[in-house]
Chains A and B, each alone.
Chain A
Amino acid sequence: GAVVSQHPSWVICKSGTSVKIECRSLDFQATTMFWYRQFPKQSLMLMATSNEGSKATYEQGVEKDKFLINHASLTLSTLTVTSAHPEDSSFYICSARDGVSTDTQYFGPGTRLTVL
């Protein structure tokens, strides 16, 4: 149980374009989903927390207009990187928490974004 999927697993795009990443909880309902970013040889940095049906809460320094998060259902959250630039190239990982039994977060496999 507790499987989280992400799509796509990798994406290459041109500078200035937008990229959407999907995160799905496959066998449980995720009341809360989290989006992280990881640069090479660094730890995971939380970007934002999203609760189903409400606006995401962004961490300090994360531009909410650049990283659009939608959590429209209990099994799906999306992250859209708008007007991507090379410095946005990173490993984006989502996680999901059911919030019922424990506060354990289950991670998706990640999406590697490369902006040319």
Chain B
Amino acid sequence: QKEVEQNSGPLSVPEGAIASLNCTYSDRVSQSFFWYRQYSGKSPELIMSIYSNGDKEDGRFTAQLNKASQYVSLLIRDSQPSDSATYLCAVSTDKLIFGTGTRLQVFP
């Protein structure tokens, strides 16, 4: 079983819609959770971090964490074509473990 699992996609959504990205993890002692965005040929860029159960909102982005279900998600409201990228979920104990990423395509 992979430590951090994501659906590889692509997830295609129309411009203006809500994109929902999901991630599950296997290590129950994980304390910190991150979402990174990676454009093709570029390095990852931090979007959100979340540490406690519930929702955390930052602009158009909302991260949701459920430690009991070992599940973390990222919602992107009012999706824009510029949001098209690969979104990496990362879980931290003493080091970051990345999922393989979900490719998001936002079409006009």
Enumerate chain A interface residues (CB-CB to B < 8 A): 34, 42-44, 46, 49, 91, 93, 95, 102-110, 112
CB contact between B100 and one of A42, A104, A110 (< 8 Å): that residue: A42
Q: How far is the CA of A106 from the CA of B49 in the complex (A)?
A: 12
Chain A residues with CB below 8 A from B42, complex form: 109-110
Q: How far is the CA of A57 from the CA of B99 in the complex (A)?
A: 22
Chain B minimum-CB-distance residue to A108: B43
Q: Residue among A42, A44, A112 with the most chain B CB within 10 A?
A: A44
Interface size class of B (residues with CB under 8 A): 10 to 19
Chain A residues with CB below 8 A from B46, complex form: 104-107
The 4 A-B pairs with the shortest beta carbon distances in the complex, nearest first, are A110-B43, A43-B100, A107-B43, A43-B98
Task: Summarize B's interface: helix, strand, loop or mixed.
Answer: strand
A–B complex contacts, Cβ < 8 Å, 5 sampled: A43-B99, A46-B96, A104-B32, A104-B34, A112-B41
Q: How far is the CA of A34 from the CA of B44 in the complex (A)?
A: 13
Enumerate chain B interface residues (CB-CB to A < 8 A): 32, 34, 36, 41-46, 49, 88, 92, 95-96, 98-101
User: CB distance A43 to B88 under 8 Å?
Assistant: yes
User: CB distance A107 to B45 under 8 Å?
Assistant: yes
Q: How far is the CA of A110 from the CA of B42 in the complex (A)?
A: 7
Question: Given that A44-B88, A109-B43, A110-B43 are contacting pairs, would A104 and B95 also be in contact in the complex, using a CB cutoff of 8 Å?
Answer: no
CB contact between B95 and one of A42, A49, A108 (< 8 Å): that residue: A49
User: CB distance A46 to B95 under 8 Å?
Assistant: yes
| Other 7 A-B pairs with CB < 8 A, given A34-B96, A110-B43 | A43-B88, A44-B88, A104-B32, A105-B34, A107-B43, A107-B45, A110-B42
